[in-house]
Amino acid sequence: MKLPDFFESDRAAIEAALDKFLPPVEIQPSSIHEAMRYSVFAGGKRLRPIMCVESARMFSDPPDAAIPAACTFEFIHTYSLIHDDLPALDNDDLRRGKPTCHKKFGEPIAILAGDALLTLAFETLAKSPIEPQRGIQIVSEVARAAGTVRGMIGGQVADLEAERRPIELLALEFIHRSKTAALIRTSIVAGAIAGGAEEQDVERLRSFGEYIGWAFQVVDDILDVEESSAALGKTAGKDQAQQKATYPALLGLERSREVATELAGKALSELDFYGARGDRLRQLGEFLVARRA
């Protein structure tokens, strides 16, 4: 399933903004800027920034105020992929269909490129043309989503510690909601805040984001079993090889597919309130669970 056509224009706007916010290679030290650009422009789907922009559009069209926040999520996401691929973590050679950052530039520069993207993410967020109070709220949401308390790093730690051990469903849910759903949920929350949403709308979209982000990681687990490395642009079958805690490992493929559908259903029902105004986010949500890569 391809992304709906009208998301192509979002993607083009995001690509241009990412290019604008990233330091040019000509600025010293060139090596780090080259590595940051290499990983950011290696071919990601840009789902988090598109989610952010479309969430903002529900409250202000055009959603230009959300563009810096949208880039923030792509920078944080790319940093997490660079670090996750390092020998100390997943030790992977392939990402987004290309050699991983450390394979191309060496481990020291890859570590620093990840660090630099995380730092740049917050510098970029500070450029949001929005009310300061809304800006501070987004900074706090983003920092928590990327952090250790039910955020991306906390989820990654729990994921590491669950390898090669029996796991209960509740613990698996914690991992998926922290390591993956937190950032996706927050891209939608930040878009809504940047777009000027009222608190009730932010909470409705937070719930949409939580369920769709959770479903996204269940689908990711399924694709790791069902798809090839060529289709995914990363090494397939690694979860089983590393005895990772996944939905297919715990519940089997069929039940995992049902869980993904149930979670997506809960997510999409949050958009019912908005009628046609929720159509783009609805289509994006449907894409997230129907995708094959």
Q: Which residues bind ligand GRG (CB under 6 A)?
A: 44-45, 47, 77, 80-81, 83-84, 89, 96, 152-153, 156, 179-180, 217, 220
CB of 216 to ligand GRG, least distance (A): 7
Rounded Cα distance between 46 and 73, Å, is 9
Output 80 or 256, the one with its CB closest to ligand GRG: 80
Output 97 or 196, the one with its CB closest to ligand GRG: 97
CB of 155 to ligand GRG, least distance (A): 6
Closest CA to 80 of 10, 178, 8: 178
Rounded Cα distance between 46 and 55, Å, is 14
CB 121 within 8 A of CB 139: no
Output 118 or 138, the one with its CB closest to ligand GRG: 118
Output 184 or 192, the one with its CB closest to ligand GRG: 184
> What sections of the chain are H helices per DSSP?
7-21, 30-40, 47-57, 67-85, 101-105, 107-125, 132-146, 152-162, 169-176, 182-195, 199-226, 229-232, 238-241, 247-251, 253-269, 279-290
Output 28 or 164, the one with its CB closest to ligand GRG: 164
CB of 195 to ligand GRG, least distance (A): 22
CB of 26 to ligand GRG, least distance (A): 26
CB of 133 to ligand GRG, least distance (A): 29
